[in-house]
Structure 1
Amino acid sequence: MRLALLLLSLAAGPLAAQGCPAPPDHSDRIDTLLAEVRAAETEAEAQRITNVMWELWSEAPDEEAQAVLERGMAKRAGFDLLGAIGDFDRLIAYCPDYAEGYNQRAFALFIRGDYPQALEDLDRTLALNPTHVAAMVGRALTLMGLGRIDEGQAALRAALALHPWLPERRMLLDRGQEL
């Protein structure tokens, strides 16, 4: 995997040669939005707040990284998963401290059913951005996909503690209940 990332970074050419600036730090704004979403009175209000969170998470460190992120997301949306993963690999090689690169690659890997690799990327996302509730939910679903139901449910509860309006709240089991 590391060799592949090295080769991708070399193949990236000018993008990798420039060096990625530090990702924008939106942690204070995200904390405020998480407080707002916990106080939201309706699902629609919570969705509006969540959309703002996505705008912040999806703000890449520079224009080049933004273009690669958006291209990868478009490919993923069109189910060109290998193309999307390639773009996210390139983004990660260029901006290894940008959490959303890992999160988006994890999403594409999850869709492909590659849960172990998705889990690695989700763990890296959360190491870089511990309050990324979408990655927390992705991690919960991935753990459940791996058959690690109790861990997945605990991860889902942690995400819901930050954002009680997540649609995946419907997947929360009563303690002792099975999927």
Structure 2
Amino acid sequence: MGGLAAAQTPDLDSLFEELKEADAQSAARIEREIWNEWSKSGSATMDLLLQRGRDAMAAGDVAAAIEHFTALTDHAPDFAEGWNARATAYFQAGELGPSVNDIAQTLTLNPRHFGALSGLGMIFEQLEQPEKALEAYEAALAIHPHLEGVIEAVERLEAETAGTDL
């Protein structure tokens, strides 16, 4: 287990266990630690591409972000966070199909990626598929019970779908 397989370190296992038991305040801290671990590719060059892409996103330059993240996924196909970052950029660009593909890749590499699951929920909501959105959100909450915004989304969707046959 070297380099890019570090996404599944024992440190992460204990962080995920803590996350399940944590109160909302502790959960926020643990979530930051998990994101921090997920952001380590094992390569300074790949970390730089991830950072450049994130900086481009922060600056509102989604096209440049997609370019950086594409370079990252090309050079480090086993690094889940590269795929997740590009999924987010595609979502911002309104390109839902490519976003879903990158989320699928993220979850293949990192099945516990609550961020990717919650992104999938947002996409299904946009596609007006509330049952699938609910499923994705609930999967995210099973991993991270205090995931910000997701609890509210589940409550909203449960209310919306209560009147329909699932």
Aligned-partner residue type, residue 60 of structure 2 = F
Q: CA 1:111/1:65 → structure 2, altered by over 3 Å: closer, same or farther? A: same
SS of 1:173's partner is helix
Query: 2: CA distance between counterparts of 1:175 and 1:151?
Result: 10
* Structure 2 segments unaligned to the other structure (5+ residues): 162-166
Deviations 1:14-72 (A, max 9, x none): xxxxxxx841424232221121111112x221100000001011001301111111000
Q: Counterpart in 1 of 2:112?
A: 131
Q: Return the TM-score normalized by structure 2.
A: 0.89
- State the identity %: 31
Alignment equivalent of 2:13, drawn from 31, 34, 55: 31
Query: 2: CA distance between counterparts of 1:176 and 1:131?
Result: 23
Offset at 1:174?
A: 6.7
Offset at 1:136?
A: 1.2
Q: Superposition pairs for residues 142-161 of structure 1, below 5 Å?
A: 142-161=123-142
Alignment equivalent of 1:169, drawn from 145, 151, 161: 151
How many positions carry a matched residue from both structures? Answer: 158
Alignment equivalent of 1:59, drawn from 28, 35, 40: 40
Query: 1: CA distance between counterparts of 2:77 and 2:5?
Result: 13
Q: Return the TM-score normalized by structure 1.
A: 0.83
Query: 1: CA distance between counterparts of 2:15 and 2:140?
Result: 14
Q: Counterpart in 2 of 1:93?
A: 74
* Structure 1 segments unaligned to the other structure (5+ residues): 1-20
Query: 1: CA distance between counterparts of 2:17 and 2:7?
Result: 14
Q: Counterpart in 2 of 1:178?
A: 160
Alignment equivalent of 1:102, drawn from 80, 83, 87: 83
Query: 1: CA distance between counterparts of 2:158 and 2:28?
Result: 30
**RMSD value, Cα:** 1.7
